[in-house]
Amino acid sequence: MILIAAFVLLGINVVTFMTFGDDKARAINGLRRVRESDLLGLALIGGSPAAFLARRHFRHKTRKQPFSTWLALIAIIQGGAVTGIGWSLAERALQA
């Protein structure tokens, strides 16, 4: 089950990275852009690591507000959730 979840998260992150790159290319070429809500949605469902990497790699949406604030908030919430789940699993392992 953990392996499946890892592959799903990997896929989400690949799609997120590619979508940020596509949006940057669209911006350069004056084409219709990817909605910020779609980019943030990808980050929300697990693509936040790729979102941060893509922002740096493509130099895209690095100063855009409130986009940057929302992305940081999503990452903080996800970090808290991962920490909470890890803590819970560690407690269960110690009780066994």
What is the rounded distance in angstroms from the CA atom of residue 5 to the CA atom of residue 3?
5
pLDDT for 96 equals 74
Residue 32: how many other CB atoms lie within 10 Å: 6
Mean pLDDT for 65-78 is 96
Output Rg (C-alpha) for the chain, integer angstroms.
Answer: 16
Mean pLDDT for 39-68 is 95
pLDDT for 41 equals 98
Mean pLDDT for 51-55 is 98
The predicted-structure confidence for 1-50, as pLDDT tens digits, reads as follows 889 999 999 999 999 999 999 999 999 999 999 999 999 999 999 999 99
pLDDT band at 94 (very low <50, low <70, confident <90, very high): very high
Residue 81: how many other CB atoms lie within 10 Å: 10
